[in-house]
Amino acid sequence: MKQEIVNYDGYDYDYSTYWKDRQYENISEHYVLNKFLNNERGEWFIDIGGSYGRLADCYAGKFQNAVIIDYSLKTLQKNYQIMTDKYPNLILIAANAYKLPFKNSSFDGGLMVRVLHHIDKQKEYFKEVARILKNDGVYIQEFANKKHIKARVKAILHRDKEINSLEPYQQPTINLEGAKGDGVPFLNYHSKYIENLLKEEGFQLEKKQGCSYFRIPLLKKIFGTKILVILEKVFQHFFAKTDISPSIFFKERLHKKEKSPAYIRLDDLLVCPSCKHEMIIDKTKAVCTNCKKEYFKKDNIWDFRTE
């Protein structure tokens, strides 16, 4: 089944500019991730759709190797030097979240933040994540919540019962978070829907946390970032499990039978993203021993994008 991929390279958009005026959301998300990853350690960690590494400070110090994969090769190339100067254990790879170029049971942990709204085949994606994570691996999934408080009020006013269905909700408006244009997947989810899909792939929900309760421009103007962050922490504490916030984070633990060997170098982890067979890898070229597809390393970044 073919998936639609939202290609940020086509928009000529610098995603980091999106965050210039969003300190409140940025701090709120960091607060959740730092709580969730506090006691997590391991060899390999993956940030899927990690872009310019906004969240790298939450995991790079806790895991021996941290991999950011993103479909936007341009973003990775542009930010390579700054990111690897700051976090020398960071590896950047251009790849498609549905077709990851890694062996089974490669990673001790992973996360995906602000990307699932672009993933129109969620089941396929979760299968792929469960494949590359190790038994007992930690996985953090953030998603846009279709039942947030504003949507509920709107649904009551319009007597709209769709809000209670488990089906993902496609936002009708042209969105400004980097992916512009009509028809681009921009999905909001019911928390039960995500919980069920992850469960089917062997994940167990350990923690649930609402986030960015005050993502309302007027409130930001009146209170400012400092006060909103204080209020956010109070709300995160008392309303963690309610589905009233626009964003929800799940901390999941994967259970599977497969044994995981210890991988030391990146080359030990890599397989053909298309058919998952071994590749012959040299400094700048990798060739699949099975399907013969060729992949190249450009400006320090492997390009394993395939559809």
Q: How many CB atoms lie within 10 A of CB 6?
A: 21
Which lies closer to Zn ion via its Cβ, residue 179 or residue 271? 271
> For Zn ion, which stretch binds (CB under 5 A), given 17-25, 113-121, 172-180, 284-292?
284-292
Supply the minimum distance, in Å, between the C-beta of residue 129 and ligand SAM. Answer: 12
When CB distances are held under 5 to 8 angstroms depending on the partner's kind, the choice from Zn ion, ligand SAM, none that residue 291 binds is: Zn ion
Which lies closer to ligand SAM via its Cβ, residue 173 or residue 262? 173
> For ligand SAM, which stretch binds (CB under 6 A), given 4-12, 59-67, 152-160, 247-255?
4-12
d(CA 221, CA 151): 22
What percent of the chain is helix, strand and coil (3-state, nearest 5)? 35, 25, 40
When CB distances are held under 5 to 8 angstroms depending on the partner's kind, the choice from Zn ion, ligand SAM, none that residue 211 binds is: none
Instruction: Write the single-letter amino acid at 209.
Output: Q
Structure-block tokens of residue 286: 């990798």
Binding of ligand SAM at residue 54 (CB under 6 A)?
A: yes
Supply the minimum distance, in Å, between the C-beta of residue 31 and Zn ion. Answer: 41
Walk across the sheet containing 285-288 and list its strands: 203-211, 247-254, 133-144, 107-112, 42-48, 63-70, 90-94, 301-303, 294-298, 285-288, 279-281
Closest CA to 197 of 306, 112, 71: 112
Which lies closer to ligand SAM via its Cβ, residue 51 or residue 188? 51
Which lies closer to ligand SAM via its Cβ, residue 114 or residue 146? 114
Instruction: Write the single-letter amino acid at 1.
Output: M
Tell me the C-alpha to C-alpha distance, in Å, between residue 103 and each of 85, 173, 263, 277: 27, 38, 10, 9
Binding of Zn ion at residue 166 (CB under 5 A)?
A: no
Binding of ligand SAM at residue 215 (CB under 6 A)?
A: no
When CB distances are held under 5 to 8 angstroms depending on the partner's kind, the choice from ligand SAM, Zn ion, none that residue 272 binds is: Zn ion
Which lies closer to ligand SAM via its Cβ, residue 176 or residue 262? 176
When CB distances are held under 5 to 8 angstroms depending on the partner's kind, the choice from Zn ion, ligand SAM, none that residue 288 binds is: Zn ion
d(CA 151, CA 156): 9
Residues near ligand SAM (CB under 6 A) are 5-6, 8, 15, 49-51, 54-55, 70-72, 75, 96-98, 113-115, 118, 177-178
